[in-house]
Amino acid sequence: MMKVEVCVNGLMRLDCVGFSMDYAAHDTGIPRLGCKPHVHNAGEIMLAGEGSSVILAEGKVVRLTAPYFIFIPEETLHEQINDYPAPYSRYCISLSKSYLDGESVKFPHEFLAFGLTHDEYARLEAIARLMNGFFSDTVEKRFPEGDLSEEQKETLAKERLRYLMSLFLCELSPIVSNHTNRDMTPRRLGYIPEVCSFISENYSSSMNIDTLSREFFISRTKLTRDFRAALGMSVSDYITAVRINRSKIFLDENRSVAETALLCGFSSSSHYIGVFAKLTGRTPAEFRKRQR
C-alpha cells in the first residue's frame, strides 16, 4: 500500500507566530520533478515565480505556468509535477488554521490555484521576500541594537512577522476575489481529471494511451489531443511523471530499486533507473542517499 507522507511544516515557528515560510529555487542543473502525494498539518500558500506545474488536489487537476498562486488547505492530499528541465522557484508559506481564523482579512479554507499577472506577483513577492529574509536572518541581523533583552527581541520579532503577514494577506485578498476558484480545464475537457485520477490509482499496472482510450470509451486521437490541450503534456509523459513521483515513496521506505521498479509499473530496473535519472538528475540510489 502506498504511504501518504504527512509533512510537519516549521512547528516551532508555527507555534510562535502562527506561520512559517521558506524559499526554494532549482535551475536546470538541479532539476526537481515535483513533490510526491502528501498532506500538511497546516495550510500552505505557494507563490511561484518560475516554472510550469501540474497540481492535483481535491479531485481537481490544474496546469499553471508561473507566476502563479496556490493555496492547499491543511490535511488535503495533493501532488505537484513540475516541468523538466525548466527552472523552478517558489515561496512556500505554512499557516495554521487558528492563525487564519484570527486574521481580520478572511481567507477561504478551500483549494485555490490560479495564474498571476506580473504586477500581482511583484506586489506579493516584495512582501514575501521581506518575510523570508526575516526568517532567515540571525537574531543579531534582525536586532543590531545591543540594549534589547532576549524577551524584547522575541516580542518585537513576533510583532514584525505578524505585521508582514497581515500586509501580505491584505494584498492577496483582492487578488483572490478577482480570480475564480475552479478547475482550469475547459468544460469540454472535463473528463481529463478522471483520467488523471485513474492514472494515479493504477500507475503500477501496464498502461498506455490505448488502455486509457478503451477505459474511457474515447478515441485515441481525441484523448491525445484533449489531454495535451488541458495539461500541456502527453499522456505517456504524465504516466511516467506519476510513476516517478510514486517511486520516491517506496525508495523512502527503503525498498530495493528492483522492487520499486516493479511496484511502479516499469518494465525493468534498468528502464526505471534511466527514466528516474533523466527526470530528476540523479539515480534512485543517489536520491535515497540524499534523503537520509
The CATH classification number of 5-177 equals 2.60.120.280
In this predicted structure, the answer to whether residue 33 has a pLDDT above a threshold of 70 is no
Residue extents of the structural domains in the chain: 5-177, 187-291
Contacts of 143 (CB under 8 A, 6+ apart): 153, 156, 157
pLDDT in tens, 50-68: 988 888 887 788 889 999 9
For residue 34, count CB atoms less than 10 angstroms from its CB and return exposed for 0-12, middle for 13-18, buried for 19 or more.
buried
Question: Length of the chain, please?
Answer: 292
Higher pLDDT, residue 107 or 283? 283
Confidence of residue 125 (pLDDT cuts 50, 70, 90): very high
Contact 58, 75 (CB under 8 A): no
Dist CA 76 CA 58 (whole Å): 7
Q: Give the pLDDT confidence score for residue 96 in this predicted structure.
A: 82
* pLDDT for res 179: 79
Q: How does residue 144 score in pLDDT terms, banded at 50, 70 and 90?
A: low
Residue 50 has a pLDDT of 92
Of 75-89, 218-232, 256-270, 272-286, the poorest mean pLDDT is in 75-89
Q: Do 4 and 250 meet the contact criterion of CB atoms below 8 Å apart?
A: no
Is 128's pLDDT higher than 80?
A: yes
Examine the pLDDT at 226 and tell me if it is beyond 60: yes
Query: 33, 84 in Cβ contact below 8 A?
Result: yes
Q: Record the pTM.
A: 0.73
Confidence (pLDDT) at 2:
38
The predicted structure's pLDDT at residue 139: 52
The pLDDT confidence band at residue 17, using thresholds 50, 70 and 90, is: low
Q: Are strands 68-72 and 43-50 parallel, antiparallel or unpaired?
A: antiparallel
Tens of pLDDT along 77-114? Answer: 888 888 766 788 899 998 887 777 776 666 677 889 99
Q: Which residue has the cell 505554512?
A: 94
State residue 10's pLDDT score: 39
Average pLDDT of the residues of the chain: 80
At 14, is the pLDDT very low, low, confident or very high (cuts 50, 70, 90)? very low
CATH code: domain 187-291 is: 1.10.10.60
Question: Which of 26-30, 80-84, 93-97, 243-247 is predicted least confidently?
Answer: 26-30
User: How many CB atoms lie under 10 A from the CB of residue 108?
Assistant: 12
